[in-house]
């Protein structure tokens, strides 16, 4: 009789254990026909402004090469080291702007024509304030011709459509931290601001990639495609 009671007690204990396991299985480890909820992914971090005094080699790499700018454009001569005076907003001033560190520039022919060209200039300063002053001088005072890019670029950004007496010309200016970028697209595709914006955005992203220790891989074609999405 004692053996029967012991066996019965063991059976009851096993039933309780199985029931507890079954109940526990409906917790975090069980889907019960439902998909488990995944934590929401964090939004991508915003690109960092240019805060480092990048070396000359990085400025050169940031300038777009053949196959990296707008379709139809190819490098005209080599990428150049920019003298301080060419980072000055006043065209008749040969002085170096305050706080200037270094710069680089490049020019591009459209289908082999030097009448229809694009230009990029990068200027690096020792402070964001110095870069802001130069950016303000670059963009000028023709407020009626100024417009914001469709997508913001950097800390400050302006497109100027047909500055001065020009036609089919769009000039773009960006400041990101200590760096400023100027892009001019004259003639041919110059009437379309999206091209100037794509070159500005690609050049800045390349600077940001280099600042982060990565290769400069972004192209103006990439930026044009992203803008159409």
Q: What would the pLDDT profile of 103-138 be if each residue is shown by its tens digit?
A: 999 999 999 988 899 999 999 999 999 999 999 999
Domain that holds residue 164: 56-228
Residue 161 domain-assigned (yes or no):
yes
Mean pLDDT across the chain: 83
**CB 180, CB 123: distance < 8 Å:** yes
Determine contact, residues 50/180, Cβ cutoff 8 Å.
Answer: no
What pLDDT was estimated at residue 119?
Answer: 96
Task: Identify whether 130 is part of a domain.
Answer: yes
Range 89-108 average pLDDT: 88
Backbone angles phi, psi at 113, to 5 degrees: -95, 130
**DSSP state for residue 165 in the 8-state scheme:** T
Runs of H (alpha helix) within the chain: 2-24, 56-62, 128-139, 193-211, 220-228
For residue 105, is it within any domain?
yes
Tens digit of pLDDT for each residue in 11-24? 434 443 434 444 44
Q: Is residue 100 part of a domain?
A: yes
Tally of domains in the chain: 1
**Is residue 17 a part of any domain in this protein?**
no
- Whether the pTM exceeds 0.75: the reply is yes
Whether residue 221 is predicted with pLDDT greater than 90 in this model: the reply is yes
pLDDT band at 160; cut points 50, 70, 90 = very high
Question: Considering the domain boundaries, does residue 8 fall inside one?
Answer: no
How would DSSP label each residue in 25-76? Answer: TTSTT--TTSPPPPPPPPPPPPPPP--S---HHHHHHHS--TTTSSTTEEES
Residue with tokens 């036609």: 167
pLDDT recorded at residue 46: 58
- Of 122 and 164, the structure prediction assigns the larger pLDDT to 122
Residue 134: helix, strand or coil by DSSP? helix
Backbone angles phi, psi at 218, to 5 degrees: -70, 140
CA separation for the pair 204, 200 (Å, rounded): 6
pLDDT confidence band for 91 (50 / 70 / 90): low
> Do residues 80 and 105 make contact, with C-beta atoms less than 8 angstroms apart?
yes
Indicate which CATH number applies to the domain containing 70: 3.40.1000
Residue with tokens 């012991």: 6
Q: Summarize pLDDT for 60-79 with one digit per residue, the tens.
A: 999 999 999 999 999 999 99
Q: Per the domain annotation, does 94 fall within a domain?
A: yes
Is 19 domain-assigned?
no
Instruction: Write the CB contacts of 121 (distance below 8 Å, at least 6 apart in sequence).
Output: 82, 86, 87, 103, 104, 105, 181, 182, 183
Residue 18 has a CB neighbour count (10 Å cut-off) of 10
Q: Helix or strand or coil: residue 101?
A: strand
Least confident of 52-56, 144-148, 163-167, 210-214: 163-167
């Amino acid at each position: 009789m004692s053996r029967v009671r012991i066996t019965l007690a063991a059976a009851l204990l096993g039933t309780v254990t199985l029931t507890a396991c079954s109940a526990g299985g409906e917790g975090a480890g069980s889907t019960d026909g439902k998909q488990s909820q995944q934590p929401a992914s964090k939004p991508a971090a915003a690109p960092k402004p240019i805060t480092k005094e990048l070396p000359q080699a990085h400025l050169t790499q940031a300038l777009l090469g053949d196959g990296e700018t707008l379709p139809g454009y190819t490098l005209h001569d080599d990428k150049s080291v920019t003298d301080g005076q060419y980072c000055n907003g006043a065209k008749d001033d040969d002085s170096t702007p305050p706080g200037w560190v270094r710069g680089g520039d490049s020019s591009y022919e459209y289908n082999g024509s030097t009448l229809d060209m694009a230009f990029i200039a990068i200027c690096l300063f020792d402070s964001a304030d110095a870069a802001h002053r130069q950016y303000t001088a670059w963009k000028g005072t023709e407020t009626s011709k100024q417009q914001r890019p469709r997508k913001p670029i950097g800390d400050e950004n302006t497109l100027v459509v047909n500055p001065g007496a020009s036609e089919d010309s769009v000039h773009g200016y960006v400041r990101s931290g200590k760096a400023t970028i100027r892009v001019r697209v004259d003639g041919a595709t110059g009437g379309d601001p999206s091209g100037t914006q794509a070159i500005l955005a690609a050049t800045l992203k390349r600077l940001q990639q280099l600042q982060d220790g990565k290769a400069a891989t972004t192209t103006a074609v990439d930026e044009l495609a992203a803008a159409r999405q």
